[in-house]
Structure 1
Amino acid sequence: MGAAGLRALLLLLLLGVPGRPQPPPEGPPSLCDPRVIERFILEAREAERGAAACGPPCDLPEPVAVPDPGVNFNLWRGLDAGARAREVAAGQAALVAAVLRARELLREPRVRPSLERAYGTARSLARLLRGLPAAAPPPAPVRVRSVPRLLGVLSRFLRGKVRLYLADTCPR
């Protein structure tokens, strides 16, 4: 399934998805369906691989702020559900803004498909997470200066904080 097919599927998923990720009684899978997050992760990894060998043409003329994708498990376990949701929402908002900024800064044809794929993934996930509490800016964001690093952060964020949040939030 290509990027257009994935976007069409995600638009279908948006219909009837409640504010908090919960599986609907019947119908299309929700964000709590593990296949959905795995698809987002696959898209992010494909975008990252697509830009991996780009080299200097993928360097950004200015750094962009991204959330720290690392997870301190002791700290994470100590957060209440609202704090976890705010952290994911803030990180997701920062990633959407960073990918959008990178798209504005770079016109390199070799990197455009990877940036478009990453932007589509980040925006689609943001729509699915739209019921999370209002996002405050993440504390001490990381700054990256290349598209491969930006896409690596997106991939790690999905595999780490988003996956942990869903594991805590979604019914088993």
Structure 2
Amino acid sequence: MQGRSPQLSMELNRLLLLTSFLLHVEEGHASPTRLVCDNRLIQKYIGEAKDMEKRAGQCQELRTLSCPMVLPVVGVNLQQWKSKSNETKRREILCDLVLLVRAAAGAQGQVTQECVARQLSQLYQHANSFLLLLQTFSWEAGPWEPGCSPHSTEQTHVTAIFLTYRQLVQGKLRFFFHDLAKDLCKQGQGGGRDPQCGAQ
């Protein structure tokens, strides 16, 4: 049998990325639509980001890194943010996540303390999962290429990686999912229940 068509290959690649994400997500039955439409899930990830930052800060003998890590500047100007298209927002967050994943991986190679290494490993997995997920959302044809140069800063403190990740999840990612929910959830939920109804 001849090779698959490029379009079919692209769809299969997206399916693999999505499956990968769902395997990493602790909520085994989570789906991209559920993640966007059920506000409790993003709140869960914000809580986990805060916990990782807190636990890393409690580790003994936190030393500065010998090689500085390049981290994205993830602050949000809400007025500017609202004026951007969903595709622009998605690409911006993808750029931030690429830098975060690289920084976490680079820092893991420099730390020897088990306490910090464990938190860095968890952050790497979470950031990489979001990276995979956002690659499945696209409003433009063709695969995403990480050819971007976001605002960045060099940091030698490990805690800066956790702070940046928490700010990204709490800020841009939460706002992005909120924006997507306006369209996605009306279509996907139809006459179904509102995910926030019945929340404890």
Q: Shift of residue 58 of structure 1?
A: 3.7
CA distance in 2, matches of 1:145, 1:71: 23
1:167 aligns with one of 178, 185, 190? 178
What is the alpha-carbon root mean square deviation over aligned residues? 2.3
Match of residue 26 from structure 1: none
Alignment of 1:146-165 (within 5 A): 146-165=157-176
8 Å contact kept, 2:72–2:153: yes
Q: Report how many residues are paired.
A: 155
1:55-108 CA distances to partner (integer Å, 9 max, x unpaired)? 653421111112112001121122122211110111112111111111112121
What TM-score comes out, normalization by structure 2 length? 0.68
CA distance in 1, matches of 2:135, 2:176: 14
Match of residue 26 from structure 2: 9
Match of residue 108 from structure 2: 103
CA distance in 2, matches of 1:8, 1:80: 27
Unpaired runs of at least 5, structure 2? 1-22, 139-143, 186-200
Q: Shift of residue 137 of structure 1?
A: 2.6
User: Compared with structure 1, are the counterparts of its residues 87 and 80 closer, same or farther at alpha carbon in structure 2 (3 Å cutoff)?
Assistant: same
Q: Shift of residue 7 of structure 1?
A: 3.8
What amino acid does structure 1 have at the position aligned with 2:67? Answer: E
What amino acid does structure 2 have at the position aligned with 1:124? Answer: S
1:113 aligns with 2:118: yes
Unpaired runs of at least 5, structure 1? 1-5, 24-28
| Greater Rg by CA | 2
8 Å contact kept, 1:58–1:148: no
User: Compared with structure 1, are the counterparts of its residues 31 and 120 closer, same or farther at alpha carbon in structure 2 (3 Å cutoff)?
Assistant: farther
What TM-score comes out, normalization by structure 1 length? 0.78
CA distance in 1, matches of 2:114, 2:149: 31
Alignment of 1:1-150 (within 5 A): 7=24, 9-10=26-27, 12-13=29-30, 17=31, 21=32, 23=33, 29-54=34-59, 57-133=62-138, 134=144, 135-150=146-161
What amino acid does structure 2 have at the position aligned with 1:152? Answer: L
